[in-house]
Every structure is written in structure tokens, then in C-alpha cells.
Structure 1
Amino acid sequence: MEFEAIPGVGAKTASALAELEAPEEALRTGDVAAIARAPGLSPGRAARIARGAIRLDHDDPGGFLATERAREIHRDLLALVRERAVTDYAARRLETFYPSRRASRIEEARGFVERAIERDPDPDVLAALEDVVPLERPGDVRVSERCLATRDAERYAEAREAVPELPVEIVEDARGLAELARGYATVVALDEAFAGVDVSGDVRVRPDAVEDPADIVPERALAFFARNRGSIRAAIDVHRAAGLEAPCEVDGLESAMDRLGADGTVAGDDELDRLARAVDDLDAAVGTAESVANDRLREAIRERDVTIEGSDLLSLVEQGAGADSLLARELSEEYDAAVAAARKHLLDALDLDSGEADLARRILDDDPTFPVERDEEAVARLREELVAARDRRAAERKRELAATLTDRREGVEELVRGALELDVELAISRFARDFGCTTAEFGGDGVAIEGGRSPLLPEAREEVEPVDYEVTGPTLLSGVNSGGKTSTLDLVAAVAVLAHMGFPVPADHVRLRRFEELHYHEKSQGTLNAGAFESTVRDFADLATGADGRLVLVDELESITEPGASARIVAGILETLAERDATAIFVSHMAGEIRERADVAVGVDGIEAVGIVDGELRVDRSPTKGRLARSTPELIVEKLAAEDGNEGDRGGFYGRLLEKFE
């Protein structure tokens, strides 16, 4: 796919998209989360790019929503669907659906939607979805106890780019390798020339390490699963609650993730835990061992009477001996017992194995001294041994766990994506259920709606009176004030927009033609000045001379200028629209005057008021075909005449007024 061919994508954005792992797949499937991982792209921008890619795929020039009011209707409808999404991903993904003039795109969307409306929005599924978020790719993994080593500068640069998580060192010979082995738990040599070199420490020769980084830096895979553990577990819950077939074996996945700590370390390994505790507790344990030895010696000295002959004392002084010599001669057994007790405490506290215990015993000297003090070099050697053992054990367990999880990586990505896409489907399903929607039927001319209820009305669906309305060609819609004329236009617009999005429509049954554009002009707020009037007439000139097959909805255009002039203008527009094979509904209080001035047959439908009851207007919301609706003033005069009892007397005041409406 040529990225710059996507509407709205320039060279900079195309370069950012090229950095994605599988940009074509993400664009083809509308994966907003994957697209948003491109450098510098927000989720909103990603949704627009995905929508542009869909248009490109269907050779869709766009522009179905030809007026601001039409675009507003689309935004409002989309908001109703989006607010039924649980995840932010689904809310953004729904933005990739748009009303199209291309049959291929409409059918593609309808295929998705028809599967979606069969989904059951179970509360347990919706609850599980709350913790599902798109997977992140951690880019902050750094490992300090392991390094790569090479003699080649070019290989050095290659290794730094391929494995940024590890330090890379330049070495010249085996001596340099040995130096590195003293500072790192593991050294991975990249040069075949180092094979067979005998150096102390954990040194591995892996010329292929850069090509297979997963083995030498398992932290990369573990960080991915640790960072996304909450979302992965939630996605598992979603699949179970919804009864979906998972793309991977979830029991084994959960078992593997139970062994992964939240920080990316390996959990549940007793030996690794023992070594980690020993490293952490070493200083404290050594300090306590010193106290044990000194407390026992101090007690022994208090309880022991020591007698020194004068000649012995003189001999000790001449030899320059001090208290240590006296301690060795008089309390050697007690000293050995005190040190033995201290060593036992140290070995027990740190739970050391036999090799580690030999190092630990050297921390306290066999030669009597008081107070007993640690040998810092011996402590450092033990610490070095424990840290190296811990790191080697951790690296081994990490490699094992990383291999297990890496094998499931692809399945996990499908698992989470499946949960997120399910939320998209459930949002559509909930919208369809909440507004009693059905799939529209394309065919014939104009629009035919049975049992339509506009989702844009503020009332609850059950409180909205259903509307039946069929219209072909240019039509005038008349009716009393507050009778529902504008709501009818909104219903027709909503049906057209949703149907061309491939979405279900809020009605019992709908049939409509596939329109090229939707033009919806809302009612002007008052008479326009000359400049604004001229601009409005130009807009209708462009509309009337444009493409065939448009749906045009206009609300009280006559309000833009004087009534006599506006009737002539509307009549002229309707004549031109009839020539362009357009379906048009013009709401007007001047329907009779406009019809008389038109040179073509213009249908006039009416939203009939059935009367005034208790001061409130009662209306049949479904327009009556071929009937010019009576006005509110006529109904009021009729009511007054009836109350007067002289409605049959045309000579009376109210009767004379009624005659004026005939």
C-alpha cells in the first residue's frame, strides 16, 4: 500500500507508518491501537488515517455528508454508538465507520455489523471489558548484569541497534573477556574467535546472538507480558464470559503468567528466592553472627577466673603478645564454640548450600580474637558468589519462561485484539437494541420508513411516537408548528446516514436508494441580509447542478427572505432537483404557494393535527401523502367556532374566519 495515497497522509506520516511492525495489516483491519503506535500519531489521528485507508481501498472519494448539518447528524449518531463502548479503543475504532456512496464499502461494513448485532451484551462480558486496553510495547527495558562483547566495530554497532537492552563492550583478547566476566554475571561473546577460550566466569560464545536476541535478553519478552498482564488476564475473562473460542490455550497461558512477577521477574522458583533472600540479608546476617560470637565470648569471660603466673605474664609481655594470645591459651575452647554458634546462625539465616557455606565460614576467623569481627574480603567474596548465582539462576529461569510466553505472543495479541473488537461489536449491538434498529434494504427510489423513531430526540424510545413516511422525488412537507416536521427530517437523515454507514436503522422496516450525497439545510434564524441571501442561493445553485441521485433535506428555506420571493425561489429549486433525479423534502409553511408556482408536479405531504385538547395540540406524527396540512391558527378558529355553537353559520364571526382558510 502506498501510504501517501491515503487521504490526509503526507510524507512525514507515511514514514511514521512505515516504522510499524505490520502497517498494511493494521490499516486494512482498522486497528487504531496499532496505527497509534507509529511515532507522533494520536489515537484520534490514527482513526482518521484508518478511515482514509478504507476510502482508498474502496476508491471512495468521500463527501457523502455534503453540509454541516449532515455532518452534525453523523457526529450525533456516532456519539450514541460510541457512548455504548466500554473501552477507549472501541470508541476510536467506531470512528472508522462513515457513510459512503460506494456499495462495496457499505456491504463490507454491513457484514461486520450483521455479525455484531447478534452479539449478546452480557453484563459479565461488559464488566470484564473494563480492564482490557491495547497492548503496549515496552521500550524502557535495560539489563545491567549481562553484556555483549565483540572485537569488531561494525558488529558492535549492529549489536547496539539490535539489542538496546544490553550493554555492548569492545574487547581485544581473552584477557579483556576475563575482565568483563569479573564485572558481569554473564558475558556473551559475539566472535567465533573466542570459541574455546578458557576464562573464569559465565562466558558464552554466541555468534548468532544478534539474530536471536530473545535467548540472550529474555527480559524483552517478559517485560511485554508483565506490562500487559492486566489486559491479558481481562481478555481471557472476556473470552470465557462471552463463550468465545480463544486463539491460544488460555490455561497454559495463565499458568505461565502466574510465574511472572509484576516487575518482569520470575516468581515461584524456590532456589531463586533463596538466593535473592541471601543477597538481601547478607549484611544483617553477618552482623548478627558477630553479635552471637561476641555475646557468648563475653559471657564466658565473665564466668571464667583466669590466673596468670608472674613468669608467664613476663613471657607474654616479652613476646609482645596481647589479649588475643591470652584468649587463645585460656579460652580457646570457648572461642571455638562461640564462632561455631555464630557460623551456624549465619548458615541457617542465609540458608546456604555447601559451597556457599565454605565461603561463609571464612567470614569469621578461626584464630581467637576479641571482639570477633568479620573479614570484609570474605564477605565480599560470598556476596559476589551469591549475586552471580542469583543472576545466573534468574537468567536461566527468565529464558525458560520467556520461551514459553514468546510461543504464545501471537495468540495473546489476537486474544486482546479479539476482546477489543468484541467491544466494538457490542457497542453496535447495544445501539441496535436500545433504538429498535433493523437492517435497511437498498433498492427502488427515494426513502420508505415504517415505524421509525428518531434516536436524536431527547425522549426515551418508548415515548417516541413511531413515524411512517415514504417519499420519492421533490416533496413539500407541511404541518403545524411543533408538529414534528423537523424531527421527521432528522429521522430521514439519520436513516440515510446509518444505512450508508452499513449500520442498522431505527425503524421496523426501511427501504431506500443508495444516494450519492446527503444535503441537509437547517432552518435559518431569521431573514438573511443581501450578502448572506446571495451566498445561500449560490449554495443551492451548486446543489441543483451537481451529481444525480442526491438526498436533499431543507427546513423552512422561505425564512431567508420575503414570503413571495421565497416561494418562487423554492419552486425553482424543486424544479431543478426533479431534473437531477434527486429525492428532496422541503419543510415549508408555504407549501400551497410553492406548489402553485412550480412548473413540475411537486408532492405535498402533511403532518396532520387532529385537534386541540385541553389547550395542547394533538398530532398524527406520520405525514399523510398528498395532503396540505392545516395550520395551527385554522385549528384554533375551528375550535372557537365549535365552542360558540355557530360553526355552521357562515355569517358568524368565527365562521367567516374559517372561510378564509378554505
Structure 2
Amino acid sequence: MDLEAVPGVGAKTADALAELDDAERALETGDVATLARAPGITEGRAAAIARGAIRIRHDDDGGFLATDRARELYRDALSLVKARAVTTYAKKRLETLYPSSAASRIEEVQAFTRASMERTPTADVRAALADVEPLSAPQGVRVTDRCLATTDAERYAKAREVIPELPVEVVEDTRELAELARGYSTVVALDEAFAGVTIDGDVRVEPGALETPAELVPERPLAFFAANRDTLLAAAEVHRVAGMDALLDIDGLESALARVTADGGVTGDDELARLTDAIADLDAAVSMAENVANDRLREAIRERDVTIEGSDLLSLVERGAGVDSLLSRELGDEYDAAVEAAREHLVETLALDAGETELARQAFPEDPTFPVEHDESVISRLREQLEAEKSRRAARHKRELARELADEREAAEELVRAALELDVELAVARFASDFECVMPDFDGDGFDIAAGRSPLLDVEFAAVEPVDYGVSGVALLSGVNSGGKTSTLDLVALVVILAHMGLPVPADSVRLRRFEELHYHGKTQGTLDAGAFESTLREFAALADGQAGRLVLVDELESITEPGASAKIIAGILEELGERDVTGVFVSHLADEIRDVARYDVAVDGIEAKGLVDGELVVERSPVKDHLARSTPELIVEKLADGGENGFYDRLLAKFE
């Protein structure tokens, strides 16, 4: 796919998308999460790019919504669906749905919608979805406890490129390799020439190591699972509670993830935990061991009387002997016991094994001294030994866990993708359920809505009165003020927009044609000045010259100028549209006047008021076909005429006939 052919995608954005492994699939499926992983592309931008790619695929110019009011109602309709999604991803993914005149696009989304409406949203699934979010790319992994070594400059360059996570060193001979082994817990020699060489430390000769990067750097695959651990666990729970099939063993994944730490390490191994604790507690344990020895010596000195003959004292002084000699002579056994106590404390506190114990015991020398002090060089060697063993064991466990998880990455990505897409489906299912929607049939002439109810009204949906209305051709819609003419027009536009999005509509049934464009002109506030009036006429002239198959909805166009002129202008527009294959509804209080000046028999429908009750209109919300509705003033005069005595109101009422 030519990325720059997608609307809104320039060279810079195309380069960013090209960095994705599956950009074409993401564009084909509207996978906003994947597109948003491209550098510099937000989820909102990703949704816009996905819409552009969809339009190309369906040869859709994206011009269905031809007016501001139509676009406003689309945003309102989309908001109703988005409000029923749990995840941010689903809300952005739903933005790839838009009203289209392309049959293939409508049918594509309808298939998705029908499948979605089979879903049953539950509180458990929604709760599990709350913790699912798009997968994130792990930050760059750097490993410092092991390195690669080679004698070849080309191999050095390749190693730097293939495995950037590890330091790579150039060595001349075995001696330099041995020096590296003293500074790293593991050294991997890439040259066959080092095979059979014996070197102290963990030195491995693996000429083919660059072919299996995950073996050398298990942190690479583990970093992905560490960075996305919570999301993967949440997605697994979604599959479990929703009864969805997965491409991997969910229990096995959860068990493996339980062994991955937040920083990409491993846990769950007792020996590794022991080594980790020993390193962390080493300095404190050494200090406490010294205290144990010195406390015992102090107690021994307090409990014993040490007597030194004058000649002995003179001999000791002449030899330059000090307290060490006195301890050796007078408290030798007590000193040995104190040192032994220190050694035992150190070994037991750190839970050292046999080899570590042998080294640790050397930290407290046999030669008497006071106060007792440890040999720091021994402790340094012990720390190095513990850290090397920890690194080797951790690396071994990382390799084992990485092997277990590496092959599951694609399935894990699909696990999260499926959970996120489920949220999209459930949002549509909830929309359909909340507003008692049905799938529309695109086999009508114009539109025919049975028991349509708008969820956009400022009342509880359950309290919305159903409306039946259908139009084939062009009609005028008359009715009393506040009788529901505008809300009926809004309902028609909303149903048509949802239907052309491929979504269900809030009605008992809907039949309609597939319209090419929706032109909805809302009510103008006040009489227009000359410039605005001219602009409006130009707009309708263009509308009259446009292509067939459009739906035109106009609300009280007469307000643009004087009533007499408005009636003539609207009649002229209706005549033009009536000669073309256009469906239209014009709401007007001048229906009678328009009909009088039109050159053909204009269809007039009416939203009829049943009367006034306590000053409030009682209205039959469904328009009556071929009926000019009475105005509110006529109703009021009629009510007064019923109780009038002098005939004044009767004479006024006659004027309306």
C-alpha cells in the first residue's frame, strides 16, 4: 500500500508508519492501537489515518455529511456509542466509523454490527476491560553483567548491530579474554579460535551466538512481557470471564507472567531469592558479626582477672608486644570462640552454602585483635562471588523463561487486541440495547421510520414518544410551535446517519434508500442581511444542481427574509428538487402559502396538535400525511370561540378557513 496515498499522510507520517511491523494490516483493519505506536502519532491522529485508509479501500470521497448541522449530529451520534466503551482504545477505534454512501463500507460495518449485537455486555467483562490498554513498546534494554568478545572487527560491528543491548569488546588473545572474565559475570566469545581454552569464570565460546539473540539477551523478549504484564493479565481475565477462545494457554501465560518482575527480571526461584537477599544484607550482616565477636570478648574480659608478672610485662614491652599478644596469651580460647560466633552469625544470617561459607569464614582472621574487625578484601571477594552466581542463575532462569514466552508474543499481542476489539463490539451492543435499536433495511424509496425515538432529546429515553414518519420525494412539514417539527427532522437525520455508518437505529423498523449525501440546514436565527441572504441562495442553487440520491432536510428557511418572499423562494427550491431524484423535508410555517405559489402539487405533512390542556399543547408527534397542521394561534382562537358570546372569536376563527 502506498502510505502517502492515504488522505492526510505526508512523507513524514509515512516514514513513521513504515517503522511498524504490520502497518498495512493495521490500516486495513482500523487498528488504532498499532498505528498509534508509530513515532509521533497520537491515537486521535491514528483514528483519522485509519478513516482515510478505509475511504480509499471503498472508493469513498468522504463527502456524505454535506453541512455543518449534519456533521454536528454525526458527532452527537458517535458520542452516544463512544460513551458506552470502557477503554480509551475503543473510543478512538469507534472514531473510524463514519457515515458513507459506499455500499461496500456500509455492508462491512453492518456485518460487524450484527456480530456485535450478539454479544451480551456484563459487569464482569466491563470490570476486566477497565485494566486493558494498548500494548506499549519496552524501553531500550541495557545489560551490563555480561559481554561479547571477538578478535574480528567485522564481527564486532555485526555484534553491535544485532545485539545492541550488550557491551562488545575486542580482544587480542586469551589473556585479554581472561581479564574480561574478571569484570563480567559471563563472557561470550564469538570466535571458534577460543574453543577448548580454560579460563577462570563463566566464559562460553559460541561462534553462532549472533543467530540467537534471545539466548544471549533474554531480557529482550522479557522486557515486552514486563512492560505489558498488567495489560496481559487483564486481557487474559477478559477472555476468561467473556468465554473467549485464545491462541495461547491463558493459565500458562499467567503462571509465566507471575515469574516476570516489573524490571524484566525473574522471580519465584528460592535460590535466586537467597542470593539476592545475601547481597543486600551482606554489609549489615558483617557489621553485626563484628558486634557479636566484640561483645563476647568484652564480656570475657569483664569476667576474668588477668594477672601479668612484672618480668612478663617487661619482656612483652621489650618485644613491642601489645594487646594482641595479651589476648593470645590470656584470652586465646575466648577469642577463638568469639571469632567462631562471628563466622557462624555471618553464615547463618546470609544462609550461605558450603562454598560461600568457606570464603566467608576467612573474613574474620585467626590472629587475635581487639576490637575484632573483618577483612574487607575477603568480603569483596564474597560479594563478587555472590553477585556472579546470582547473575549466572538469573540469566539461566531468564533464558528458560524467555524461551517459554518468546514464541507466545504474537499470540499475546492478539490476546490484547481481541480484548480491545471486544470493547468496541460491546459498546455497539450496549448502544443497540440501551436505545432499543434495530438494523435498518436499505431497500426503500426515500425513508420510512416506524416508532423512531431520538436519544438526543433532553428527556429520559424511556419517556420519548415514538414517531412514525416516511417521505418519498420532497415534502413540506407543517405544525404548531413546539410541536416537534425540528426534533422530527433531527430524528430523520440521526437515523439516516447511523444507518449509513452501518450501525443500528433507534426505531422499531426503518427502510430507506442509500443516500449519496445528507444536506441538513438548521434553523436560521433572525432575518439575514443582503450578503448572507445571497450566500444562502447560492448554496441552494448549488444544491439544486447537485447529483441525484441526496437527502435534503431544511428547518424554517422562511426566517431568512420576509414571509412573502420566503414562500416564493422555498416554492422555487422545491420545484427544482422535485424534478430531480432527491428526497427532502422542508419544515415551514408557510406551507399553505408555499403550496399556493408552487407550480406543482407540493406534498404537505402535518404534526397535529390535539388541543390545549391547561395552557399546554397536546401534540400527536407522528406527522400526518397530506395534512396541513393547524397553528397554535388557530388553536387558541378555537378554544376561545367555544366559550364566546358575542361572536367575535367565531369570526376570527373563520379567517383561518
Instruction: Note if 1:656 corresponds to 2:644.
Output: no
Counterpart of 2:341 in structure 1: which amino acid?
A
Q: By how many angstroms is 1:135 displaced?
A: 1.2
1:70-122 superposed Cα distances (whole Å, 9 cap, x missing partner): 00010000001101111101100000001111111101100111111111111
Distance 1:265 1:529, change over 3 A: same
Distance in 2 of aligned mates of 1:191 and 1:572: 90
Deviation at 1:645, TM superposition (A): 6.0
**CA-CA distance at 1:318 after TM superposition:** 3.9
Q: Following superposition of structure 1 onto structure 2, how do residues 332-411 of structure 1 map, counting pairs within 5 Å?
A: 332-411=332-411
Residues 372-404 of structure 1, C-alpha deviations (whole Å, 9 max, x = no match):
211111111111101111111111111112222
Mapping for residues 338-487 of structure 1, pairs under 5 Å: 338-487=338-487
Alignment partner, residue 62 of structure 2: 62
Shift, 1:210, TM fit? 3.5
**Match of residue 529 from structure 2:** 529
Partner of 1:266: 266
Summarize the Cα distance change of 1:557–1:401 in structure 2 as closer, same or farther, 3 Å threshold. same
Alpha-carbon displacement from aligned partner over 1:173-222 (angstroms, at most 9, x marks no partner) = 33332222222212223344433333222222334434422222222222
Q: Secondary structure at the match of 1:661?
A: coil
Displacement, 1:314? 4.2
| Deviation of 1:283 (Å) | 1.1
* 247-256 vs 157-166, greater mean Cα deviation: 157-166
With normalisation by structure 2, the TM-score equals 0.97
After TM superposition, list the pairs within 5 Å mapping 1:272-283 onto structure 2. 272-283=272-283
> In 2, Cα distance between the equivalents of 1:347 and 1:523?
88
Q: What does the per-residue CA deviation read over 1:266-295, in whole Å, with 9 as the maximum and x for residues that have no partner? A: 221110011111111111111122222222
8 Å CA contact 1:556, 1:588 repeated in 2 = yes
Structure 2 counterpart of 1:597, one-letter code: V
What does residue 295 of structure 2 align with? 295
Paired position in structure 2 for 1:628: 628
- Distance in 1 (CA, whole Å) between partners of 2:180 and 2:517 is 71
Q: Percent identity?
A: 70
Give the residue type in structure 2 aligned to 1:486.
T
For 1:576-615, list aligned pairs within 5 A.
576-615=576-615
Q: How many angstroms apart in 2 are the aligned matches of 1:44 and 1:194? A: 55
The yes-or-no answer on 1:284 pairing with 2:284 is: yes
Matched, 1:566 2:561: no
When the two chains are superposed, the root-mean-square deviation of aligned CA atoms in Å is 1.7
Question: Is it true that 1:15 corresponds to 2:7 in the alignment?
Answer: no
* Cα distance, 1:547 vs structure 2: 1.2
**Aligned counterparts of 1:160 and 1:37: Cα–Cα separation in 2:** 25
Give deviations 1:333-379, integer Å, cap 9, x for gaps.
Answer: 22222211211111111111111111111111112222221111111
Structure 2 SS opposite 1:280: helix
The SS at the match of 2:285 is helix
Partner SS state of residue 95, structure 2: helix
Give 1:311 shift: 4.6
1:38-117 → structure 2 map (5 Å cutoff): 38-117=38-117
Deviation at 1:172?
3.3
5+ residue gaps in structure 2?
A: none
Aligned length: 657
C-alpha deviation, 1:251, in angstroms: 1.1
Give 2:515's aligned residue.
Answer: 515
Counterpart residue identity of residue 357, structure 1? T
Deviations 1:446-482 (A, max 9, x none): 0000000012111112111100011011111111111
Q: Kindly provide the amino acid, as one letter, of the partner of residue 17 in structure 2.
A: L
Equivalent-residue separation in structure 2 for 1:580 and 1:148 (angstroms): 78
Distance 1:311 1:510 in 2: 122
**Superposition pairs for residues 199-238 of structure 1, below 5 Å?**
199-238=199-238
What is the TM-score of this pair, normalised by structure 1?
Answer: 0.96
| Preserved contact between residue 129 and residue 234 of structure 1 (Cα < 8 Å) | yes
* Alpha carbons 1:545, 1:580 under 8 Å: kept: no
Partner amino acid, structure 2, of 1:333: D
Matches of 1:594 and 1:164, distance apart in 2: 79
Distance (whole Å) between structure 1 residues aligned to residue 383 and residue 367 of structure 2: 23
3-state SS of 2:209 partner: coil
Distance 1:526 1:194 in 2: 92
Report the counterpart of residue 649 of structure 1 in structure 2.
Answer: none
- Structure 1 contact 517–551 (Cα < 8 Å) conserved: yes
Separation in 2 of the partners of 1:490 and 1:41?
35
**Range that drifts further, 302-311 or 331-340:** 302-311
Shift of 1:407: 2.8
